[in-house]
Structure 1
């Protein structure tokens, strides 16, 4: 890892300590209590999207898990998850919820770009608003491929490339015109914030193929009519995201 990337990772870790203190710690109990997995800012049900496939009996690694609510959902559905995150503060929230009401599964503090996990240990790697935005795709995708068994599935959700092009450089909410060049969102340094990665669709295909994946699907997610803002992450408005996709989910298979 270069000195520049190490500094970015350290800065992102510090940022998520603040985010956990201000927002995600309070939101986590409600997310853990859900009976069904949902996706993204507008909580679209897995039962409608069908992204994960059969998870019962599967070994799952959740990357950049935050407070690990996705792993909690997967555990209740019969999977064997390991939840990985860089932030000790977010994992402490997850551990508190495990102690309070369960379920219990391994929580691992680690960088998705350098996973302390064995080769071919997982059937499914999943990340919901995690690794795709906060980790270098040239680093985390090869790691995801390494821990997956042949034929294993990768499912990750991130901000849409279009939304990243429409958010002001000083941060804020996406508007109705392009504010960045097509390639300028590939690596974004937010003023006062962290470093994020928002490759174009073509770049995602290239990164995934280079890491040994075959792309199976790209789902562009819109807000359902009448859906309110997400309580703590306002990069788009419901009005914007009923007209344009706010998020995208990639589904790929390890060759």
Structure 2
């Protein structure tokens, strides 16, 4: 993977999710939609442990930024929130609508870019991205947009790959135990016809603070010893020793 600057990632990622990933969405989405409780990320961290949703989520206006098949929005709806899901992939949203019909849930699904959301300022109380905008959108575009969309006091929560994982992972390979790229300048990673984004912690903290957020928590997720599987990009053993993913929680200052 190489680092670039142009803003062509939206169309690249749209094609990737429409053309390459849609075939597996149905079975995977159904498992998430059917889950008794939310489980987060690669290592299925339970909501009872991560507390990703605020305790007062019932009745909240919520938006899922880069919703994919919208299973997080489904979990929000079951928790009593009023979610909206936005994603740039027609194929993923088609699967989400199939799941809505199958599971008897109904909430808005918007075809669009999470860096430019067609809603007014101060519309939502809670914004969330579970490997959606938090991975596939430019943080210097989607973080300001999340701040615009949230009402004062609103909460932003997102899961993403850890910077350490990005530093240790070769192009289309598995996470190694050595550093393979520099941390300074880390931002955009191209590979496999798609574009991911990862900022180092210092850059992410400064970005969030510059748009009015106070950081309430950062959970560096440890894979359990009895992890359910390995992945092509990272093994459970690696992620038990170092964080491959993390959960950020921030609140917009009123």
TM bucket normalised to smaller: over 0.9
Aligned pairs for 1:102-251 within 5 A:
102-168=104-170, 170-190=171-191, 192-229=192-229, 234-251=232-249
Structure 1 residues 226 and 19, CA gap change in structure 2 (3 angstroms): farther
Question: SS of the counterpart of 1:113?
Answer: coil
Write the deviation string for residues 34-71 of structure 1: whole angstroms up to 9, x where unpaired: 12111100111111111221211111000001100000
Is the contact between residue 25 and residue 90 of structure 1 (CA under 8 Å) also seen in structure 2? Answer: no
**What TM-score comes out, normalization by structure 1 length?**
0.93
Instruction: Count how many residue pairs are aligned between Structure 1 and Structure 2.
Output: 248
Could you tell me how far 1:184 is from its partner in structure 2? Answer: 4.4
Distance in 2, matches of 1:118 and 1:4, equals: 27
Write the deviation string for residues 143-175 of structure 1: whole angstroms up to 9, x where unpaired: 10111010100000000100000011x221101
**What TM-score comes out, normalization by structure 2 length?**
0.94
Could you tell me how far 1:235 is from its partner in structure 2? Answer: 2.0
Distance in 2, matches of 1:229 and 1:18, equals: 26
Whether 1:81 and 2:83 are equivalent positions in the alignment is: yes
Moved over 3 A (4+): none
Unmatched 5+ stretches in structure 2: none
Distance in 1, matches of 2:184 and 2:161, equals: 15
Question: SS of the counterpart of 1:4?
Answer: coil
Q: Report what 1:254 is aligned to.
A: 252
Distance in 1, matches of 2:129 and 2:20, equals: 18
Q: Report what 1:14 is aligned to.
A: 15
Distance in 1, matches of 2:28 and 2:217, equals: 30
Write the deviation string for residues 109-153 of structure 1: whole angstroms up to 9, x where unpaired: 110110101111111000101111111111111110111010100
Could you tell me how far 1:19 is from its partner in structure 2? Answer: 4.1
Could you tell me how far 1:24 is from its partner in structure 2? Answer: 2.4
Unmatched 5+ stretches in structure 1: none
Aligned pairs for 1:87-98 within 5 A:
87-98=89-100
**RMSD, aligned CA:** 1.4
Distance in 2, matches of 1:80 and 1:19, equals: 31
